[in-house]
Amino acid sequence: MRYLLILICSFALGSPIAAQDQFFYTVVKDYFRVNPFTGQFSAFVNAVKTDPGLTITRTVNKTDTSLFSIEGDYQSFNPFSIRANKVEMTLGEKQRVLQGRRPIADTIMLYEITGFFDSTAQTVKALKKEYKRINNKIKRDLAAQSEAPLTNIRGIREGAITNHAKNSNLAPPISVIWFVKDDGQLGLLVALRMKYINNRAVPSGFLADNLYFYRNILPMFR
């Protein structure tokens, strides 16, 4: 599944959050197989590329006309408490242009884990409970929390997104999404946003990510 995220150009930048914050080490350890905050960013990317537990399904190298991205399926890794049929990983650059007298291109890195599950009423109930549990856990450290239903989105029958930030003036570096597609496919996604500065990862994001995700992240499910 390709993740085609189109960024809205008019949003302002959010303030980055210190990478040394221990919370992010804990979140990454709980939900991501490779930690981007423990060393050089280039070493992290290489670790993702060479992970023996990940089957790479798509790679796009960074060029003058394309942004870097990797997609793959985990063979056995599943950070969720529900048995998954498949767990996908996406690591990729996303760019938007800040309009002005001199347009400026801004780039963040999205690191995403998506689990897909049996489409039964019992599993939907369990997934909603897991979604709430993850959000409550993150909220202990990122108190600013906003939730929006996923309605009137082509291909999506039901779902919701919760963004998390230190406070309402900072862009959310973490989002959690659950969804049911029209074909019955059931999924749960944890997304981490970051920048890399001097070859080190820094949690970051864009302001108004509720609207950004609401309009753009879900058309990727095709």
pLDDT tens digits, 26-76: 778 899 999 998 889 999 999 999 999 999 999 999 887 788 999 999 999
Among residues of the chain, what percentage have pLDDT more than 90? 41
Please tell me which residue, 49 or 216, carries the higher pLDDT value.
49
Q: What is the pLDDT of residues 79-90, one digit of tens each?
A: 999 999 999 999
Q: What is the pLDDT of residue 124?
A: 92
Closest by CA position to 31, among listed 138, 116, 125? 138
Query: Is it the case that residue 196 has pLDDT exceeding 80?
Result: yes
Query: Is it the case that residue 11 has pLDDT exceeding 60?
Result: no
Q: What is the pLDDT of residue 156?
A: 87
Buried-state track 55-67, b at ≥16 Cβ within 10 A, e below 16 = eeeeeeeeeeeee
Please tell me which residue, 21 or 65, carries the higher pLDDT value.
65
> Is 96 in contact with 109 (CB distance < 8 Å)?
no
Alpha-carbon torsion, ordered 28, 49, 2, 206, to 10 deg: 40
198: left (phi over 0), alpha (psi -120 to 50) or beta: left
Q: What is the pLDDT of residue 98?
A: 65
Q: What is the pLDDT of residue 206?
A: 52
Please tell me which residue, 177 or 100, carries the higher pLDDT value.
177
User: How is residue 8 annotated by DSSP?
Assistant: P
Please tell me which residue, 129 or 3, carries the higher pLDDT value.
129
Beta bridge partners of 108: 94
Q: What is the pLDDT of residues 179-194, one digit of tens each?
A: 998 888 999 999 998 8
Among residues of the chain, what percentage have pLDDT more than 70? 77
Average pLDDT, the chain: 79
136 burial via Cβ count (<10 Å: 0-12, 13-18, 19+)? exposed
